[in-house]
Structure 1
Amino acid sequence: MSTGHVDILNAALALSEGERAAIAFELLHSLKPPMALSEDDPALFEELDRRMDAYERDSSTAQDWKDVSSGVKQMLRDRRSP
């Protein structure tokens, strides 16, 4: 990062949590989304079919959403702690 970028980052980090969240939200929404699949994209249904076929072949790899959600939240908490 250039010196200007570092200065901006340091200034942003000095803001309150709410102000940082608002800036993060705006920055994230300014980015071009990744190759997301929309309902108009036939690839969406191909991907859903592929995943359903994989699940039906071996459902033992499936995880309950509560477990997945808890795991993701824990990973995010771990990343924030020093």
Structure 2
Amino acid sequence: MNVPTSHLKVGSYPLTLKIVDSEGNEGFAKINVVITETMKLSLRDSVSGKIFNSIVTDEPAVSGKDYSIALPFMTPDKSHLIFKRQIL
């Protein structure tokens, strides 16, 4: 997922990502992307819900287990945040 950064300023941006597996089961991820003055990123995250898409996690989902989402990275021209499909 690519997120344009042209409207973003230094600060914290909470996001909720909806996740749907191949059977239509839904889960969600709440993350907090923090952009610093030098346009560096940090991320505070937790993933909730009964289902986390195994395509995203590369492992079976476990109800009640917390997962982590990889830190997004910024393109070299700082125009977009890129979210990877990866678990730390």
> Do both share a fold (TM > 0.5)?
no
Structure showing greater Rg: 1
> Scaled by the length of structure 2, what TM-score is found?
0.17
Q: Which one has the bigger helix percentage?
A: 1
> Scaled by the length of structure 1, what TM-score is found?
0.18
Q: Which one has the bigger strand percentage?
A: 2
